[in-house]
Structure formats: C-alpha cells, structure tokens
Chains A and B, each alone.
Chain A
Amino acid sequence: MADVLTAAPPTAASSPPRRFSRRWRNTLIGWSFILPNFLGFAVLTLVPVIAAFVLSFMDWDSYNAPEWIGLKNFQRMLHDESTKVALKNTAYYALGHVPLTVLAALGLALLLNRKIAGVGFFRAAAFFPYITSMVAVAVVWNMLFNPEFGPINQFLHFIGVDNAPGWTTSTSWAMPAVIVTSVWRDMGYYMILFLAGLQAIPTEHYEAAKMDGANNWQRFRHVTLPGLRPVTFLVLILLTVQSFKVFDLIVVMTDGGPGRATLVLSQQIYRQGIVEGEFGYASAISLVLFLLVLVLTLTQFWFNNRRERK
C-alpha cells in the first residue's frame, strides 16, 4: 500500500506540460491521499450498496443464475408473516429505545454538567456500559431478568409486586427487557453528546435570564432546551438509525424469541440472506429497511428546519 502512495506523485510531476502541471499535480496528489482508503471503501461499501439495490429486483440463490423478477420480492414481503412481524417489532423497539434513551441521556447530562468533586467518576460509570461487549451485556442482563432467581424480580417482589413479569421468557415482556438493556447500554454515549451541547450554550444567556428574573424551570425551558436543539436533533437521528439496525443485542439476548416476539428486520435479513441463501429477497428487505431509515431521517430534518424558521 505504501508503494502506491509514494509512487503516484513523481509520475504525475514529470510528464504533463507546464501550464497544466500545477493543477494536474495537485489533483493527483489529492487523489493519492484518498485512494488507499477509497479503494477499500469503494469495493467493499459503495459497490455493495449499489449491488444491494439491484439485487432487490432479482431472484438469486447463489447456485442458479440471477433472474430479474421486478417487484416480486416486494410482493412476497406483503404475504410473509415473519417479515411483517419483524417490521412491527423493529418499530416497537425503536419507539421504546429512542425516547427512553434521550430522556435518560439528557437527565444524566443535566445532573453531571457541573463542577463538583467526583463528577469524573460518575460520568465514567455512566459511559462504561457503552463500551462493554454486547455479549457480556446480554448474558448478564439475561440473568438479572431471570423470572425466578433474578435480582430484578426479587426486587419487584420486595417492593410488593406480586405477579412480576417473565421478561425474556414471556412473549409480551421480552421486548421491554431488551429495550431496558439497550437504554442502559447506550445512554452514556448520548450523555456525552448532550454534555458537549450543554457546554456550548454561552453562560451569558443564563445570566441574562437570571437578570430578567427567570427561575430554574424557566431557565431550563427557555435557555437550555433551545440551546440543546442542534444536539437533540443529531441524537434523534443517530438513535433512530441505530434502533432500526439493532442486531447483536437481540441475537445474543433472545435470538428473536420467545417465538417471534423480538425478531427484528436485520435478523430477518440475516436469516433469509445468509442462512437461507435467498440473496434477492433478503436484499429487498434491506432496501425496505434503508428506505424506512431514510424517510424517518428526512422527516426529522424537515421538522427541524420548520422549527428553526419559526
């Protein structure tokens, strides 16, 4: 790889006529910087992205030649119970994961955005779950959620809840258990983004509000929240994309079960495409996943722009 980098400029410098040479040279040098990464990126990301789009309209099982079948993959989805369940579960997960993570992360950021002794420790404690491996997280939380012996249900019994839920063993409580786990894992990451946002709000704004006689709540409502808007927007987009991509946590914690209670789209893509070898159909589901994320992101952009203009 190093050879490519060092070899490019001399050949570029020697040949072309003087007048063009500067611009040419500059372009070639610019490209030579980008090329090592771009080659890998183009072959392994850009091409697959385009291929996935084309494959969605094909029938291909890797043994027979691919065949163009138009919209048949998409029609098949309409009648495929598993895919519909996966879509519903993914939406359910996102609806729980996004708002709860935002609230938890914002709460933590507000609590920890002050100069007090030990604040570094508390921030580190809140962040550490985010870099803990998903497998360890899933295994531990599965035990914590154990219906009979887990500390969570023992605690619920202790405070007087008689019929504590069966969590990952129950079709209706498995998804909430997954959501709780993922909020716990992710809130520290978004807390850091919110902290950066809070620190970007000029202190003069708070002082001015104080001078106008605003109380704590009013200052939060009229200075902090509007000041956080750009960060909140970014957090919402990142979280939405992340929610629709959820895979590791579900595979390790519930493997989509019990039954299909926590089956999500990316798992369905994996099962159809890599386990069953239905490349065309799996790509069509991916395209739907991508379009969903795209529409949601664009909607958020649109909302954000409208609010900003007000």
Chain B
Amino acid sequence: MKAALRVLLYVVLTVAAVAILVPFLWMISASLKRNNEVLTIPVQWIPTDFQWKNFSSIWTQIPLGTYLRNTIFLSAVITFLQVLTGSFAAYGFAKMRFPGRDALFFAYIATIAVPWQAYMIPQYIMMQKAGLTNTFWSLILLQAFGAFGVFLMRQYYLTIPEELSEAARVDGLTEYGIWARVILPLSKPALASLALLTFVNTWNDYMGPFIYLTSNDLWTIQLGLRSFVGQFDADYAMMMTGSVLSVLPILLIFLVGQRYFIQGIATSGMKG
C-alpha cells in the first residue's frame, strides 16, 4: 500500500513536471527546426532535421552580440550598486540606533507597496528634463537604489547576534570596520541571494528598457527578442532560437545558485 502510494506520487509529480516544462520543450524543439516546420498538425516534438545553424545565423540576422553586451553591462552595474548600497544602508537600519531611523525605514517600506506604475510618469519627466532618456544612466539610476535590497539585507542582518558587533566595538573597530570585517563576511548567503535576484530581474526586465531605451544600439536582449515578434512575417524558429539564447544564461545562473534564490525569496517573505 505504501509503495503504491509512492508510485502514485511520482506519477503525479512527473506529469506535473512535464506539464510545467512543456513550454521549454517547445522552445528548444522549435529553435532547432526550419521556420515552416514549427507550427504543424500534429505537433512534431522532435525535429526531423536538426537545424543547428539557427544558432549561428541568428547572430547575423539581428545584432544579438550588441544586445547581449548591453544586457550584461546593465545587469552587472545595477547588481553591483544595489548590493553595495543596499548592504551598506541595511547596516544603518539593523545595527545602529539613531533618531529618525525608524521613520526612514518606514518610508522605504511604504514605497515597496506603491506600484511602480504609479510614479513612473514623474520619473520619466525627471529623466527627460535631465536629458537621460535613451541612455543607460536612466536605467542604472532608477534600478540601483531599490528598497528591496535594503529590506532583504536588513532582514538578514537582524539574525546576526548583537554580541558580535558589540565585541568588535570593544576591540576598537569603527562601525565601518564592523560592517566590512564582521557583518559582510557573515552575510555571504544573503549577498549572494540579493545579487542573483537583482541580476536575473535586470536581465529579464522589459518595461524599463522598453520605456527608456529607444535607439537600437542600446537595446537589451529582451527588446531585441520582442522586435522579432513585431515583424509581419514572424520568423517562429528564429524567435525560439533567440528565446533559448536569452534563457540559457539564466538557467546556468539558476543551476549554480539555486539555493540562494530559494533562501532569498524565503527571507524576503518573512516579515520582521
């Protein structure tokens, strides 16, 4: 009876996993087909003739190299700034006591609840007046100082025992020294979570680049991918080849840092 239940559980899980992964199977399968073989009746899950050359010809069909470079640049800079300023500010919120601290933190929390769309117009006007629309600066400035990083790091710092920083203070370390030499080394898992989540979010962001980046040579991979769809003669196979290439780096990052994604999400979900 117990064994039968176990088999049933695995059957259910496998069916669910296949159902969830079908879109990815479709993506990979279509990326290796000729364009006229993508939409057929019945669906052909395994291509008759693998078109590996899709993966080489896409680089000349669209400036994929430029898109990738732009995306990597934006993701790396934004992640670096978010992790640096976020973990630094979180120290002030979690490990120090001073007047105005709680009011400030409340301002952060309050804006997390405000939908971004509610203030995107003033942001856009500011960027326009500063002449920063259609530059990377606009996106870097808008996304590098998010409240999320401060919140996530603060939640983690609160779990680090107060005695450690107290002992370091007695040893004559300054607050900056405590941050750099005691707290940062202890919060590597949280830093990794924040870095991975920010990187993936920036990599996948569509709305930001869509609003701010108009010239083609600044486009990110998401905008480039979308431009395929806009064309009248949709090139289905190439669209899927592009999708596979845009998802692949994320898959690699996910496989390496799976643990940190899960922990980061679980931590940000715990109210404290």
A34, A51, A128, A134: the one contacting B89 at CB < 8 Å is A34
Given the interface pairs A31-B98, A36-B89, A289-B117, the reply to whether A149 lies near B41 with Cβ below 8 Å is yes
Bound-complex Cα distance A65 to B149 (A): 37
Q: A287 CB to closest chain B CB, in angstroms?
A: 7
Q: Is the CB of A136 within 8 A of B243?
A: yes
Nearest chain A CB to B36 CB, angstrom units: 11
Contacting residues, chain B, for A27 (C-beta < 8 A): 98-100
Give the one of A32, A36, A140, A142 with max B CB within 10 A.
A140
Contact of A143 with B43 at beta-carbon distance under 8 Å, contacts A126-B20, A247-B117, A289-B115 already known: no
Chain B residues within an 8 Å CB radius of A137: 23
Question: Which single member of B115, B123, B222 contacts A290 (CB below 8 Å)?
Answer: B115
Instruction: Decide if A139 touches B41 in the complex (CB within 8 Å).
Output: no
Q: How many residues on the B side are at the interface (Cβ–Cβ under 8 A)? A: 96
Contacts of B27 in A (CB 8 A): 136, 140
Q: Which residues of B contact A136 (CB under 8 A)?
A: 27, 225, 243, 246-247
Mark each residue of chain A from 124 to 152: 1 if its CB lies under 8 Å from any CB of chain B, else 0.
Answer: 11111101111111011111101011110
Checking A126, A241, A273 against B115 with a beta-carbon cut-off of 8 angstroms, the contacting residue is A241
Whether A51 touches B92, Cβ cut-off 8 Å, given contacts A111-B12, A251-B206, is: no
Interface residue tally for chain A (C-beta within 8 Å): 94
The smallest beta-carbon distance between A86 and chain B, in angstroms, is: 12
B170 on the A face (CB < 8 A)? no
Known: A133-B206, A269-B117. A140 touches B240 (CB 8 A): yes
* Minimal Cβ-Cβ distance residue in B for A32: B92
Q: Is B21 an interface residue (CB 8 A)?
A: yes
The interface centre, meaning the residue of B118, B147, B150, B204 with most chain A CB atoms within 10 A of its CB, is: B118
Say yes or no: A139 contacts B239, CB within 8 Å.
Answer: yes
Beyond A34-B104, A37-B86, is A154–B43 a contact (Cβ under 8 Å)? yes
Most chain B C-beta atoms within 10 Å of own C-beta, residue among A37, A132, A139? A37
Q: Is the CB of B206 within 8 A of A37?
A: no
Given contacts A133-B247, A139-B225, A143-B30, contact A151 B115 (CB under 8 A): no
Residues of B near A134 (CB, < 8 A) are: 204, 206, 222
Task: Enumerate chain B residues within 8 angstroms of A139, measured Cβ to Cβ.
Answer: 225, 228-229, 239-240, 243
Which residues of chain B have C-beta atoms less than 8 A from A37's C-beta?
Answer: 85-86, 88-89, 145, 149-150
Segment of B48-56, B57-65, B259-267 in the binding face: B259-267
Determine whether B179 belongs to the interface, using a CB cutoff of 8 Å to chain A: yes
Tell whether B40 is near chain A: CB-to-CB under 8 Å. Answer: yes
Q: Is the interface of A mostly helix, strand, loop or mixed?
A: helix
A30 within 8 A of B: yes
Chain B residues closer than 8 Å to A127, beta-carbon distance:
261-262
Q: Which residues of B contact A146 (CB under 8 A)?
A: 39
Taken together as a complex, chains A and B put the C-alpha atoms of A151 and B24 apart, in Å, by 13
With an 8 A cutoff between CB atoms, is A46 at the interface? yes
Q: Answer yes or no: B136 CB below 8 A from chain A CBs.
A: no
Task: Enumerate B120-144 residues with CB–CB distance to A below 8 Å.
Answer: 120-126, 128, 141-142, 144
Q: Does A192 contact B (CB under 8 A)?
A: yes
Distance from A185 Cβ to chain B, minimum over Cβ atoms (Å): 10
Whether a CB of chain A sits under 8 angstroms from the CB of B76 is no
| Chain A proximity of B158: nearest CB distance (Å) | 15
CB proximity of A212 to chain B, nearest CB, Å: 23
Q: Convert A39-66 into 0s and 1s, putting 1 for each residue whose CB lies closer than 8 angstroms to a CB of B.
A: 1110011111101100100000010000
When distances are taken between beta carbons in the complex, the residues of chain A under 8 Å from B99 are 27
For residue B42, CB closer than 8 A to chain A, the reply is yes
Task: Give which listed residue, B101, B108, B119, B266, contacts A41 with CB less than 8 A.
Answer: B108
Q: Nearest chain A CB to B45's CB is how many angstroms away? A: 9
Q: Give B209-253 interface residues, CB cut-off 8 Å to A.
A: 210-211, 221-222, 225-226, 228-229, 236, 239-240, 243, 246-247, 250-251
Extra 5 A-B pairs, beta carbons < 8 Å, given A30-B97, A193-B265: A48-B122, A51-B119, A135-B222, A135-B226, A251-B206
Q: What are 12 A-B pairs at a CB distance below 8 A?
A: A9-B176, A30-B97, A37-B89, A39-B145, A126-B16, A128-B251, A132-B204, A134-B206, A135-B243, A143-B38, A143-B236, A279-B121
7 closest Cβ pairs, A-B complex: A40-B145, A33-B92, A149-B39, A48-B122, A51-B122, A30-B98, A37-B85
